[in-house]
Chains A and B, each alone.
Chain A
Amino acid sequence: MREDYLEIRDLRVEFDGFVAVDGVNLTVLQGDLRFLIGPNGAGKTTLVDAVTGLVPATGSARLDGVQLLGKSVHRIARSGVGRTFQTASVFEQLTVLQNLDIAAGAARNWRTLLRARSGIPPTVELAMETTGLTALRDRPAGELAHGQKQWLEIGMLLVQNATVLFLDEPVAGMSGEEREQTGELLRRIRRDHVVIVVEHDMQFLRSYADSVTVLASGKVLAEGTYAQVQADPRVQEVYLGPGHTAEPAPALGEVL
């Protein structure tokens, strides 16, 4: 079976002279649950924005060898790149089912579009089961609890048939149990997707990350397993400030 991969080379994003992402190289393979961390302003979300076409960037970002940069947002999405946002951005007026159905339908032709939905597409059915939203399918998404909205977002990513999934702080505001369930879900979907998670929650990261990339000031500072990254004195310095490098390593998990 062919393995999917995302390969970012020398990615650079500049806003009015401010360099937000400064020559980032990053390769993520299918099956590797990659976490992207870094202090505020490190360029994590900007990097995701650049790869998904929201902000212009130079360099290259290839999905299975196909260049993504320079394409419009919806073409990049159709090439197989999906993302969620820090603030859950589901279509609040539409029901759970309608949200998922729309997410699943970007490739529909006009003849299909102009008809009413006659049944529930199997992928949508499956996504509702996977995310536990089956019983809520006729509820307007705006009435969902925060965690449920996040799951709906993830469900929309799943039916979108994306190869690369960017998740921006998926467990923010979730309870402990919900975090666990989300983590398990991420573990399952990384088997056949390239999954990149931007996350501040170190507890969550320690439990579920296969690998971690640390960004600071728009550059890759370190990359490796959680333990490797945690032991890196440069990472400790960025997070804790100079002079703290001598402190015992577990402090990282606590402070963040």
Chain B
Amino acid sequence: MIGSATPAEAAAAEVSAPRARGPWTGRAAMLATYAVAAIVLFGAAPAMLTDFRLRMLAQFLCVAMVAVGIGLAWGSGGMLTLGQGLFFGLGAYIMAMHLQLSSAGPSGRPAFMVTGSDLPWWWELFRSPATALLGIVAVPGLLALLLGLSVFRRRVKGAYFAILSQASAAAFALLLISQQNTIGGSNGLSSFRQFFGFALNDPVNRRMLYFIAAGVLIAMVAVVHQLRRSRYGELLTAVRDGEERARFLGYDTAMVKVVAYVVAAVFAAIGGALFVPIVGIISPQNVGVVPSIGFLVGVAVGGRATLFGPVLGSLAVSYAGSTLSEQIESGWVYVQGFLFILVVAFLPGGLGSIAAVVRSRRRRPAADELPRGVPEPDAPDPEPTPADVRSGGA
């Protein structure tokens, strides 16, 4: 056996001890976290907040849904999705079209439309509640699948992928603005009266919307939780850190990445769809480049590679944003930008990584004392890019 009395085994005895985990880091802690989240969202918040504040929280929850998806795609999968406004907007607009049609009655027309102009055929697709709900998931999902496959198959990644996704959000916003007569242009769609038969001016129904948003958000976190702990989650991280290597193991890495990308897109779309009845308006301003970056800031601040970091970061940033902009108008954009730079420069893993950073600082001296059979190589081993592999001994 190659391993008999190797340094590997000698080192192992020492290694296993510090890695032992306390009772609070396992399953129990996870369950406790979910329980706390449920108590806060379903108990404390509705009991303590005014209707106005609760509606605001519901809006933050919708934004946090986008953040959960970004956490998966960016944190676990390394895809810097700078253009989630595209999918958020698709979900939102499909919901808005449905709400306008249902508010207008059986053969009615949306309020903003000029009399005399025909209702475009694609509005009719979302008249029925079933097709509207299907469309909210299927349209962004299929678009993300096509977009993702064509981009990942061409091995576009890193900054190029980020720019591409941001451009797609910008283009989508421009397209919406240009469609004054068919989709409301820069004014967007608003004045919805009912939500699947429930009057939107009734406070009870508004509360129900909040509870739906809270439930959906928790469900999304649970889905990402399962994905992260599954073999797929490990594979996604492997592809993030060494895509070429994963390919040499026989994985179609484009497929691996596209799954996370589609999940993130669908989450963003659902967030957008719930945003519409809760906020009461959707316009190109909510889907372009600036909101797309806004979705990302919370994820970066909270810790993109952690399970709860994206949600908590997103909620905190939304809250800070609304509080600050109540005091100083337009000042928030600068604060947001500064926050982003601060995190990227000094704590790339976000606030959620503080514990890990401290732990590794404390552990490092111990790790150095480990007996090692070979001298450490001078430089850390980088991921083998084709260029690396080609140079050297060839």
Contacts and interface: CB of A to CB of B under 8 A. Distances in A.
B241 A93 contact: yes
B263 to A, nearest CB: 11
Given A138-B19, A148-B8, A106 B251 contact: yes
Given A101-B234, A132-B2, A156 B373 contact: no
Given A102-B235, A133-B8, A116 B393 contact: no
A102 B394 contact: no
A113 B390 contact: no
Given A91-B241, A143-B367, A181-B2, A105 B235 contact: yes
B12 interface: yes
A14 to B, nearest CB: 13
Contacts of B229: 116
A89 B384 contact: yes
A74 B1 contact: no
A99 B239 CA distance: 11
Nearest to B9: A135
Given A52-B248, A89-B245, A93-B237, A135 B231 contact: no
A148 B374 CA distance: 9
Interface in B227-270: 227, 229-232, 234-235, 237-238, 241-242, 244-253
B232 A102 contact: no
B377 interface: yes
Contact of A106 (B230, B250, B375, B386): B250
What interface size band does chain B fall in? Answer: 35 or more
Interface in B194-230: 226-227, 229-230
Nearest to A41: B394
Contact of B373 (A20, A42, A135, A145): A145
Contacts of A169: 393
Interface string B359-394: 000000001000011111100011110101110111
Interface residues of A, number: 78
B231 A55 contact: no
Given A134-B3, A200-B393, 18 more contacts: A43-B394, A73-B248, A77-B250, A85-B389, A86-B389, A87-B382, A89-B245, A90-B242, A91-B241, A98-B238, A105-B235, A112-B231, A114-B227, A139-B12, A139-B15, A147-B373, A168-B393, A198-B393
Interface of B: 1-4, 6-9, 11-13, 15-16, 19, 226-227, 229-232, 234-235, 237-238, 241-242, 244-253, 367, 372-377, 381-384, 386, 388-390, 392-394
Interface of A: 20, 40-46, 49, 52, 54-55, 73-75, 77-78, 82-83, 85-94, 98-99, 101-103, 105-108, 110, 112-117, 129-136, 138-139, 143-149, 151, 156, 160, 168-169, 173-175, 177-178, 181-182, 184-185, 198, 200
